Amino acid sequence: MNLSTEAAPPGMRPDVQGTGPFATAGPQPIDKYMWLRDLRMASPSSYFRVLVNNTQDVLPYIYTPTVGKACQEYHSLGIQTRGLYLRIDQDKGKILQRLKAWPQKRVRTIVVTDGERILGLGDLGANGMGISEGKIELYTAAAGINPNVCLPVCLDVGTNNVKLREHPDYKGVRAARPPQKEYDEFVQEFMEAVRAWQPHTLIQFEDFGNTNAFRILDKYKDDYCCFNDDIQGTAAITLAALLAALRVTGKRLADQRILFLGAGEASAGIATLISYCMTRRDAIAPEAARQRCHLMDSKGLVVAGRTDLQHHKIPFAHADVPACATLIEAVRAIKPTVLIGASAVPNSFTQQVVEAMAQLNERPIIFPLSNPTSQAECTFEQAWKWTNGRVLFASGSPFDDIVDARGIAHHPPQANNAYIFPAVGHAAVLTKSKHVPEELFLVAAEQLAAMATHEELSRGHLFPLFSHIRDISASIMATCAHYIVAEGLGRNPGGWSQQDLEAGNGWRRAARAAMWSPPAVGSAPASMDGTPLSSMDILLPAPGAEKTPSPLMSGELW
């Protein structure tokens, strides 16, 4: 549909600074983002129908890459957030009080950021709320968590982004990030307050800077139902992509040599899970498995003897490789079968690097994972061209299809943790899991890796398309929920007996039944657990808005 010819529905912002979806110049992605936000406020049922029925089409607008731009401009977009800000200068010592005063009385899923590392865009302070909002929408769209029980949170502890915090429109705390002790006390107060307020709530840490992310995860992972999406969710999707690629090449995981550009949350998380998987699948020793993973940071290859290494890099500091300052040197020294980018350095997978990978491997596996698109290490087109179409590719943000000389379209798979976290998180919520064990990410990855059909694999699709995400999530949820209960960490989903769960596809049916869906057009807007959708202040539609036909619902999306 052409939004530029549509009239703005009543109650909706017609435009953003004159370039909106209804302007004659045609809508920009950020306008579509704003339009969807407005639709959510005006008519939540319509919004969730759009999201659930068109997830793949809408994904680039509510999520990467557009959410990156939205976070960069959040302070000047006139956004009214539905999330909860907790400010270190005003709410310290009063977080529980704030939570108890919040209009949602039942919350089961929280995505929380402190805004320090938003995608590959750096410290965006309070603007990071946009990422918590975007991720929480995917819990509903992809895994059917009732939106009434979802809460995006931003811990506003200040920002070291001086330009942003001095901007006249910036609404966050206008101070530098605090010292670690003060920061840790604030996070601790938040964790305890959430537990006191809502004991069975899953907490997803999102886009924290890596100096805090690893420490926070280590501190809370065994005592709280929580996980870090950038470390653990990313690990699972990347392992899934790799295992699916190996279904194409027919090679063993333990025979791979994997080189990472970037040695932060994503890379360390992926390398840890891959090596763990090697020990489980191919029965090799943990040390030998880690030897197959090589990380590069901004100072060069991570090798034994370097004295400047953060804690999370040390397991991957090997003695049997030379110090390499550049990626091409490292490719020549290590001869990787797999090249993974999680550096947020655009164009770092140069023609020389990609061609070297193509010389070393019949089917080079190349995953530029950095987000948003502007930070990707290379594009699909480049990887395709420089390997003569032999690449097995997956990227963090979406790229266009390539049509080859025979007219066959090749769709670049998206290796984004959005395939994983909604289902893993919903499984933890459904079973009231005490915590989120590391093993769950392995279970989820193996499940997803097996899903693409041989026909899909032959066209480079490592996973089924995101348009099937609810089916994908149901399978992952079922396996994860089963695992949690079998390990004694949680309980059977409410209303399901052991006998029902063990019969036929019992766990899958239970997962499916737990998925909330928006009400059909014309029916009363009620949620599956009986809570009226309109009972929550944040989701209150404008009077009569439900009757307004949405142009988004009338046919093809943009």
Ligand X SMILES: NC(=O)C1=CN([C@@H]2O[C@H](COP(=O)(O)OP(=O)(O)OC[C@H]3O[C@@H](n4cnc5c(N)ncnc54)[C@H](O)[C@@H]3O)[C@@H](O)[C@H]2O)C=CC1
Angle at 53 between CA 49 and CA 56, to 5 degrees: 125
On whether 223 is known to bind a ligand per the annotation, the reply is no
Contacts (CB under 6 A) with ligand CC(=O)C(=O)O, residues 351-380 = 371
Which residue, 407, 388, 2, 385, is CA-closest to 399?
A: 385
The CA-to-CA distance between both ends of the chain, in Å, stands at 5
Q: Select from ligand CC(=O)C(=O)O, ligand X, Mg ion, none the partner in contact with residue 210, using the beta carbon and a kind-dependent cut-off of 5 to 8 Å.
A: ligand X
What whole-number distance in Å separates Cα of residue 505 and Cα of residue 496? 13
One residue of 116, 137, 189, 230 binding Mg ion per CB under 5 A: 230
C-beta separation of 187 from 216 below 8 A: yes
CA distances (Å), origin 392, targets 175, 354, 372: 45, 12, 20
The nearest distance, CB 117 to ligand X, in angstroms, is: 5
The nearest distance, CB 344 to ligand CC(=O)C(=O)O, in angstroms, is: 9
C-beta separation of 200 from 432 below 8 A: yes
Interacting span for Mg ion (CB under 5 A) from 91-99, 202-210, 219-227, 504-512: 202-210
Stretch 180-219: interaction string toward ligand CC(=O)C(=O)O, x if CB under 6 A: ---------------------------x------------
Give yes or no: 135 in active site.
yes
Give yes or no: 183 in active site.
no
One residue of 38, 91, 137, 207 binding Mg ion per CB under 5 A: 207
Q: Is 417 in the site for ligand CC(=O)C(=O)O (CB under 6 A)?
A: yes
Q: Which residues lie below 8 Å from residue 487, measured CB to CB, with a gap of 6+?
A: 437, 439
Which residue reads 């930070």 in tokens?
375
On whether 182 is known to bind a ligand per the annotation, the reply is no
Interacting span for ligand X (CB under 6 A) from 10-18, 147-155, 283-291, 365-373: 365-373
Tell me phi and psi for residue 490, to 5 degrees.
Answer: -150, -175
The nearest distance, CB 298 to ligand X, in angstroms, is: 4
Interacting span for ligand X (CB under 6 A) from 240-248, 370-378, 405-413, 534-542: 370-378
On whether 206 is known to bind a ligand per the annotation, the reply is yes
Report the residue closest to ligand CC(=O)C(=O)O, judged by CB. 371
Q: Is 267 in the site for ligand X (CB under 6 A)?
A: yes
Sequence-separated contacts (24+) of 487-493 with Cβ below 8 Å = 487/437, 487/439, 489/431, 489/433, 489/434, 489/435, 489/437, 490/428, 490/431, 490/432, 490/433, 490/434, 491/431, 491/432, 492/431, 493/430, 493/431
What whole-number distance in Å separates Cα of residue 423 and Cα of residue 419? 8
Stretch 295-324: interaction string toward Mg ion, x if CB under 5 A: ------------------------------
How many residues make contact with Mg ion (CB under 5 A)? 2
Q: Is 416 in the site for ligand CC(=O)C(=O)O (CB under 6 A)?
A: yes
Q: Select from Mg ion, ligand X, ligand CC(=O)C(=O)O, none the partner in contact with residue 263, using the beta carbon and a kind-dependent cut-off of 5 to 8 Å.
A: ligand X
Contacts (CB under 6 A) with ligand X, residues 76-135 = 117, 119-120
On whether 255 is known to bind a ligand per the annotation, the reply is no
One residue of 212, 379, 417, 475 binding ligand X per CB under 6 A: 417
Q: Give me 379's structure tokens.
A: 């594009």
Nearer to ligand X, 33 or 367 (CB): 367
Which residue reads 């005006």 in tokens?
42
Q: Give me 157's structure tokens.
A: 């502890």
Tell me phi and psi for residue 205, to 5 degrees.
Answer: -85, 130
What whole-number distance in Å separates Cα of residue 177 and Cα of residue 157? 6
Q: Is 416 in the site for ligand X (CB under 6 A)?
A: yes
The nearest distance, CB 460 to ligand X, in angstroms, is: 17
Q: Is 119 in the site for ligand CC(=O)C(=O)O (CB under 6 A)?
A: yes
Q: Is 72 in the site for ligand X (CB under 6 A)?
A: no
On whether 117 is known to bind a ligand per the annotation, the reply is yes
The nearest distance, CB 369 to ligand X, in angstroms, is: 4
CB-count burial class (<10 Å; 0-12, 13-18, 19+) for 125: buried
Q: Is 31 in the site for ligand X (CB under 6 A)?
A: no
One residue of 16, 225, 342, 440 binding ligand X per CB under 6 A: 342
Q: Is 210 in the site for ligand X (CB under 6 A)?
A: yes
Nearer to ligand CC(=O)C(=O)O, 205 or 516 (CB): 205
Query: Would you put residue 227 in left (φ > 0), alpha (ψ -120 to 50) or beta?
Result: beta
Residue 106: count of CB within 10 angstroms of its CB? 13
Nearer to Mg ion, 386 or 419 (CB): 419
- Which strands form 84-87's sheet, in the order they lie side by side? 84-87, 150-156, 109-113, 202-205, 226-228
Cross-strand pairs, 262: 296
On whether 308 is known to bind a ligand per the annotation, the reply is no
C-beta separation of 225 from 435 below 8 A: yes
Task: Indicate the annotated binding residues for (S)-malate.
Answer: 117, 371, 416
**Binding site residues, Mg ion, CB under 5 A:** 207, 230
**Binding site residues, ligand X, CB under 6 A:** 117, 119-120, 210, 230, 234, 237, 261-267, 296-298, 342-345, 369-371, 375, 396, 415-417
Q: What amino acid positions are annotated as catalytic residues?
A: 63, 135
